[in-house]
Amino acid sequence: MSADEILYNEAAPFERALAEAFTDTLPIPIRDLLDPDRTPEAFLAFLAASESVDLWFADWPLARKREMVRAARNGLAALKGTRAGPDAFIRFVDGVILDRITYPKRFVFGRARIGRTPIGHPAFAARYLVKVATVRPPRSFVMGRGWLGQGHLRTPTREPIRRCLQALAASKGDATEYRSDFAHHRMLRLDDAPPLDGSLCLGAYVPRVRF
């Protein structure tokens, strides 16, 4: 039934708009608006809110925004508080978890080292070794604030680290806490048995994949 069949000739504009909304042929593509792959970009944030998305950044690429809404619809929230949760969330901010301690044990055999021994690791606490790329801002040398050999340099932006922390916070349960370590490089040691071809020397940094 069309709006013209419902209304009388002297209907006001509001009445006509209301009649159009209640007709069988709506001019609004509801199915497209509720589909994360087809909804317009301007509507994605509203669709994300309706799906209770916990991790969202306005400067994400369009494909990542659609992927997040799709993941939320497919049960991403069900991974909160599980071992798979941090991995599922942190990949949306380009982070990788290299190692973790996520169980309440008094002593982690084989991982103890002076200064880093997780003795008395508290229950319901997680510890993550995270790798994420940081970018030094352009024109990192600050003119007027440096002198030869002692120039003040701007440090890499902490935004990737902040986003990783936000992703980990979104992935945890209400009763859990987490600690993060972003030092995914360490100094070379003798027990690493470095090659003697001169490619590595003491004091060099190598990738760190374990606590």
pLDDT at 69: 97
- Strand bridging mode 177-181 / 125-131: parallel
pLDDT at 99: 92
202 φ/ψ sector (left φ>0, alpha ψ -120 to 50, else beta): beta
- Cα separation, 166 vs 173, in Å, equals 13
| pLDDT tens, residue by residue, 20-35 | 777 766 667 888 889 9
Q: Residue 30 falls within a domain, yes or no? A: no
- Strand bridging mode 96-101 / 125-131: antiparallel
Q: Residue 65 falls within a domain, yes or no? A: no
pLDDT at 56: 97
Cβ-based neighbours of 38, under 8 Å, separated by 6 or more = 32
- Number of separate domains in the chain: 1
Q: Residue 74 falls within a domain, yes or no? A: no
10-residue mean pLDDT series, the chain (211 residues) = 69 82 71 92 94 95 97 94 93 95 57 50 79 71 47 69 96 85 84 76 82 77
Q: Residue 43 falls within a domain, yes or no? A: no
Q: Residue 16 falls within a domain, yes or no? A: no
Give CA 143 to chain center in angstroms.
35
Q: Residue 51 falls within a domain, yes or no? A: no
- Cα separation, 27 vs 138, in Å, equals 48
Q: Residue 42 falls within a domain, yes or no? A: no
pLDDT at 186: 84
pLDDT at 17: 82
pLDDT at 121: 59
Q: Residue 56 falls within a domain, yes or no? A: no
Segments forming the whole domain that contains residue 195 = 79-211
